[in-house]
Amino acid sequence: MEGLIRLELLGRLPEDLPPSPGAELVIYLAARPGWRSLAEVRAVVPPLAEALAAVKGTRYDPFLEAHGSEFRLRAETDVVAFWQEAYRDLDQVRALYGELAAGFESPLPEFRAWLAAERQETLRGLWGTAVGRAAALLDRRRADEAARLLEAMEAAYPLEPRTALDLADLYWRLGRPADTARVLEAVLDRLDERSRPRAELNLGAALVRAGRVEEGRGRLEALVGTEYDERYWALLHLGGLEVLTGEPERAGERAREVREVAERVGASDLYLMALLLEGEALIRRGRAQEAAAGPLALAMGFQEFLGQPFTPVSLALLAEAQARWGKGKRKPLELAEKAYRRAVELRDPYGASRALFAWHLASGDPDKLEAARHQAALAGHAVWQRFLEAWPKAPRSA
């Protein structure tokens, strides 16, 4: 394009920058194309008169314009190209990415603060694009590709706190709770106050699932003592631990508490998970018929009411309850097989493990139990793995 100076700012510095504070003015206006008000510019480069004098006579001078109380630098930069591709084309974004004005140091505190924030935003754009692509791959059942992409990104780039929450969610979906916990621990101290409760919840759940049970339990119990909405999910995660480790009565109490809250506020996801936990707690207490006819039946009906497909875990729990109840073999076998097919369709190893365990209970087939253990290992669910390894001597309570 005619009438523009072409500058590269990502991962490098332009040549022949004017002395400070002229350099700061050039970098700011190049990274912020278009007209900028006097107030905007002075907020970042307060000694504006000195900056304009420093640019005078340099190669940037012909491209620096003032109109009334507005300024602009007629420049074409890779920063603009980066943001045009951000969230759309990861390959192009990775090719362009680099720290903004790499190596540049300024004596101006206002400019230093702006540059640090801009560098963080550029990193956020890079990670946001990568996380978006990985999520799309997972949605298309291409988990191996998603995992390779995330691993390559982590090897090449530092984490960015806000997108790290979504990165941790992706590792959870991939059945890698240890990686979920690792990512959250790395950025927890850099999160804003609004993001911390969700991160604390997910970290506690990931630590439990990864086998760091006491650390995870401690974080979840701390969250229960707060006023954040996440405390109700923390109660369910604690109940999910207790129901598999010999405390099903306590788990049932937590489930009922959450269920009452969910009913009152209309939180459908919370309500459904509370019903499933309540049903499993009854199963572990030897009250399978009550579980099948009560909370698990309600959970199935609720999913049907919402127009949602039955989840693998809800089907598997109902199959397990019916198998333990002794309601023949045909019905629990059909439910367990349906749960397993659904889990395979969703590429959900934890759901598959639950379904195979119910299948084992309904059929007595030891191969199904071994397959359930294998799927539990793929899911990275250490607590469920331990339960299955201990079966048939797994903790049960009257």
Please report, for the chain, the start and end positions of each structural domain, with discontinuous segments joined by +.
5-122, 159-224
Q: Which two tokens stand for residue 90?
A: 């990861």
The pLDDT of residue 1 is 42
The pLDDT of residue 396 is 45
The pLDDT of residue 14 is 86
Helices H / strands E in the chain, number of each: 21, 5
Cα–Cα distance for residue pair 368/349, rounded to 1 Å: 14
Question: Can you say whether the dihedral through the CA atoms of 69, 73, 79, 83 is positive or negative?
Answer: positive
Residue 134 burial class via C-beta count within 10 angstroms: exposed 0-12, middle 13-18, buried 19 and up: buried
Q: Which two tokens stand for residue 41?
A: 């510019």
The pLDDT of residue 394 is 53
Q: Where are the beta strands (DSSP E) in the chain?
A: 5-7, 36-37, 64-67, 70-73, 75-77
Residue type, 281: A
Cα–Cα distance for residue pair 90/173, rounded to 1 Å: 21
Task: Report the CATH fold assignment for 159-224.
Answer: 1.25.40
The pLDDT of residue 393 is 66
Task: Divide the 398 residues of the chain into consecutive groups of 10 and give the mean pLDDT of each group.
Answer: 84 92 97 94 97 96 94 94 94 96 96 97 97 94 94 96 95 94 96 94 97 96 93 97 96 96 94 97 96 96 92 96 85 96 93 97 95 95 96 58
